[in-house]
Structure 1
């Protein structure tokens, strides 16, 4: 299990399974927030925050909403807007304890141009 929270602790998440890898994307939003995404099925993730505790940001092709803590501003996760049947989301593992993700492989994704994973070096 991977647990994480924003800086102030108002938004928390639990990922019930260990992902095969974490994704570092270079698209315009991910590179700015410095996210390290763990993608998962919605049923494997539990996110908790007070009502009106997050700020939503929708950009680009409008297929996902990025959620940030209203109090401290940390981006904690994103949710799928494209297809509710998809059941896919991601949590930002930069919000997790570094020792809990230290052994996970990090794959770089070129979301800025090719929309493909960059070969591992």
Structure 2
């Protein structure tokens, strides 16, 4: 069973950046879990998400620094750096997703995912955690 992040020593804010440094993020409270999802987009992007509220996540980038990709139910916009191509985050843009965001924890310091605790999520079929 995954650990509760309240008992872990995680340096705050959790910070990450794309390969070239054009897009960065700071998460002021740790995510409950690091989440590896098996849906088609997450598998293609190779991401591990740290979910949170837009109130607790700050994205630093120039206005046109990312390419937004919106598909399916059009509730999420996935952002990738225009310069290096790294997927940095997604933001909720419609429906129940408004006010939610996730950052790609693969772009944080080594050991961050392990400190938070990784969970696998079945976004392809059941919409349930697999552990």
Work out whether the TM-score is over 0.5: yes
| Alignment CA distance shift 1:84-1:48 (3 Å) | farther
1:18 is aligned to 30
Structure 1 runs (4+) greater than 6 angstroms displaced: none
Query: Shift of residue 85 of structure 1?
Result: 8.1
Greater displacement, 93-102 / 79-88: 79-88
Secondary structure of the residue aligned to 1:19 is coil
User: 2 CA distance for matches of 1:114 and 1:87?
Assistant: 24
Secondary structure of the residue aligned to 2:111 is helix
Over aligned residues, Cα RMSD in angstroms?
1.4
Q: Which runs of 5+ in 2 are unaligned?
A: 1-12
Query: TM-score, normalised on structure 2?
Result: 0.85
Secondary structure of the residue aligned to 2:31 is coil
Aligned pairs (5 A) from 1:22-61: 22-61=34-73
* Structure with the higher fraction of residues in strand conformation: 1
Q: In structure 2, which of residues 107, 122, 125 is the aligned counterpart of residue 95 of structure 1?
A: 107
Secondary structure of the residue aligned to 1:31 is helix
- Cα-to-partner distance string for 1:21-79 (whole Å, 9 max, x where unaligned): 11100000101111110100101000011121000001111110000000000000000
Query: TM-score, normalised on structure 1?
Result: 0.92
| Alignment CA distance shift 1:99-1:85 (3 Å) | closer
Q: In structure 2, which of residues 77, 86, 104 is the aligned counterpart of residue 74 of structure 1?
A: 86
Q: Which runs of 5+ in 1 are unaligned?
A: none
Secondary structure of the residue aligned to 1:43 is coil
